[in-house]
Amino acid sequence: MWDFWSQLFNTDGFSRPWQEGPTGSPAMALIYIAANLATWTALAFIPALIVLNVLRRKKMTFPPWIWWFLAFLVVGAGVHLLDAFS
Protein backbone atom coordinates (compact mmCIF):
# COMPACT_ATOMS: atom_id res chain seq x y z
CA MET A 1 0.00 0.00 0.00
CA TRP A 2 2.86 2.38 0.78
CA ASP A 3 4.28 1.82 -2.71
CA PHE A 4 1.09 3.23 -4.24
CA TRP A 5 1.15 6.38 -2.11
CA SER A 6 4.86 6.98 -2.61
CA GLN A 7 4.49 6.80 -6.42
CA LEU A 8 1.25 8.79 -6.65
CA PHE A 9 2.85 12.07 -7.74
CA ASN A 10 5.92 10.59 -9.42
CA THR A 11 6.29 12.00 -12.95
CA ASP A 12 9.20 9.83 -14.10
CA GLY A 13 8.54 8.38 -17.54
CA PHE A 14 6.14 11.12 -18.61
CA SER A 15 7.11 13.61 -21.28
CA ARG A 16 5.55 16.85 -22.41
CA PRO A 17 2.54 16.35 -24.70
CA TRP A 18 4.29 17.56 -27.88
CA GLN A 19 7.43 15.48 -27.36
CA GLU A 20 7.36 11.94 -28.59
CA GLY A 21 8.27 9.43 -25.99
CA PRO A 22 7.05 6.34 -24.24
CA THR A 23 3.76 7.96 -23.25
CA GLY A 24 2.26 8.98 -26.56
CA SER A 25 2.36 10.09 -30.15
CA PRO A 26 1.92 13.45 -31.91
CA ALA A 27 -1.77 12.67 -32.47
CA MET A 28 -2.22 12.04 -28.76
CA ALA A 29 -0.50 15.36 -28.02
CA LEU A 30 -2.88 17.22 -30.33
CA ILE A 31 -5.86 15.56 -28.66
CA TYR A 32 -4.50 16.54 -25.24
CA ILE A 33 -4.00 20.17 -26.27
CA ALA A 34 -7.39 20.31 -28.02
CA ALA A 35 -9.09 18.94 -24.90
CA ASN A 36 -7.40 21.61 -22.77
CA LEU A 37 -8.51 24.34 -25.17
CA ALA A 38 -12.08 22.99 -25.24
CA THR A 39 -12.17 22.91 -21.45
CA TRP A 40 -10.78 26.45 -21.33
CA THR A 41 -13.51 27.60 -23.73
CA ALA A 42 -16.26 26.09 -21.61
CA LEU A 43 -14.84 27.41 -18.35
CA ALA A 44 -14.43 30.89 -19.87
CA PHE A 45 -17.91 31.13 -21.39
CA ILE A 46 -19.84 30.02 -18.30
CA PRO A 47 -18.73 33.01 -16.14
CA ALA A 48 -19.18 35.37 -19.10
CA LEU A 49 -22.77 34.23 -19.58
CA ILE A 50 -23.53 34.52 -15.86
CA VAL A 51 -22.07 38.04 -15.70
CA LEU A 52 -24.08 39.09 -18.76
CA ASN A 53 -27.21 37.70 -17.11
CA VAL A 54 -26.46 39.61 -13.89
CA LEU A 55 -25.87 42.86 -15.77
CA ARG A 56 -29.04 42.56 -17.85
CA ARG A 57 -31.41 41.69 -15.01
CA LYS A 58 -31.03 44.56 -12.58
CA LYS A 59 -33.98 43.49 -10.41
CA MET A 60 -32.70 39.96 -9.89
CA THR A 61 -30.53 39.47 -6.82
CA PHE A 62 -27.64 37.08 -6.76
CA PRO A 63 -26.01 35.71 -3.62
CA PRO A 64 -22.49 36.99 -2.85
CA TRP A 65 -20.98 33.50 -3.12
CA ILE A 66 -21.68 33.44 -6.85
CA TRP A 67 -18.74 35.80 -7.39
CA TRP A 68 -16.45 33.28 -5.65
CA PHE A 69 -17.82 30.57 -7.90
CA LEU A 70 -17.13 32.70 -10.98
CA ALA A 71 -13.59 33.37 -9.76
CA PHE A 72 -13.11 29.62 -9.32
CA LEU A 73 -14.23 29.01 -12.91
CA VAL A 74 -11.95 31.75 -14.27
CA VAL A 75 -8.94 30.35 -12.40
CA GLY A 76 -9.75 26.86 -13.67
CA ALA A 77 -9.97 28.21 -17.21
CA GLY A 78 -6.60 29.88 -16.78
CA VAL A 79 -5.02 26.64 -15.62
CA HIS A 80 -6.25 24.80 -18.72
CA LEU A 81 -5.12 27.60 -21.00
CA LEU A 82 -1.64 27.62 -19.45
CA ASP A 83 -1.46 23.84 -19.68
CA ALA A 84 -2.33 23.97 -23.38
CA PHE A 85 0.44 26.48 -24.14
CA SER A 86 3.14 25.22 -21.80
Q: What is the pLDDT of residues 20-61, one digit of tens each?
A: 555 567 777 788 889 999 999 999 999 999 888 888 887 877
User: What is the structure's pLDDT at 39?
Assistant: 95
Please report, for residues 46, 50, 57, 63, the alpha-carbon distance to residue 60 in angstroms, rounded to integers and kept in the order given.
Answer: 18, 12, 6, 10
Amino acid at 85: F
**Which positions ≥6 away from 77 have C-beta within 8 Å?**
39, 40, 43, 44, 47
User: What is the structure's pLDDT at 80?
Assistant: 93
Task: Single out the residue of 24, 37, 34 nearest to residue 81, CA to CA.
Answer: 37
Domain residue ranges in the chain: 25-85
Q: What is the pLDDT of residues 50-72, one digit of tens each?
A: 888 888 887 877 788 888 999 99
User: What is the structure's pLDDT at 86?
Assistant: 77
Between CA 78 and CA 6 the distance in angstroms is 29
Helix (H) or strand (E) holding 86: none
